[in-house]
Amino acid sequence: MKTELKFKFLQHLNRKKQNEGFTLLELLIVIIILGILAAIGLPSLLNQTAKAKQAEAKQNVGVVNRAQTAYRTENTAFASSFDVLGIGILTGSTSSTTTNYSYTIAGGSDTATIAATARDTALKAYSGGNSRIDEVISSLVCEAPSPGTTPPLTPAVSTTAAPPCPPNYNDLSK
């Protein structure tokens, strides 16, 4: 008898659970919680995509600086075009573009500069420079303080020290 009573009780509970569903209030609470989580996570995701795009410019400016240093050790002047450097990432004479940035290069006997201008106002701009002082070549990478600004220009080269980044610009070469 006891076993039969247990069986009927379990059968009753099983039938009761089959007829239940979620109430409108429960569904609303779940939707509100998902909305809050999305509101918290979306800005973070967008920030990470901007950082990934900016990493392209940092990388390219650094590659051009290293290529300019290598080129200048073997020649009497820095390269004045991307094709002369032959790095493959950027091609063209004095300007080149990628999906996210436009690049310009200039080179002389003692200085070279590269500027990465963002094609999207949500991205920061970058510039780099090389200077030769007493047979020593120094490199510099500067980052704009906020998105949408123009690339920082490297100042005139001093004969005693490497040029610093302009005020308010971040020096990434340290």
pLDDT, tens digit, 9 for 90 and up, residues 97-143:
899 999 999 888 888 889 999 998 989 999 988 888 888 888 888 89
Query: Is-contact 112 82, C-beta < 8 A?
Result: no
Q: Extract the tokens encoding 65.
A: 């600086």
Mention every residue, 6+ apart, whose C-beta is less than 8 A from residue 83: 91, 92, 93
The answer to whether residue 119 sits within a structural domain is yes
Amino acid at 19: N
Domain that holds residue 155: 24-171
Neighbours of 80 (CB within 10 A): 15
Whether the pTM exceeds 0.85: the reply is: no
The answer to whether residue 16 sits within a structural domain is no
What is the pLDDT, as a whole number, of residue 90? 87
Rounded CA-CA distance 101/51 in Å is 13
The answer to whether residue 76 sits within a structural domain is yes
Could you give the number of structural domains in the chain? 1
The answer to whether residue 35 sits within a structural domain is yes
What is the pLDDT, as a whole number, of residue 140? 87
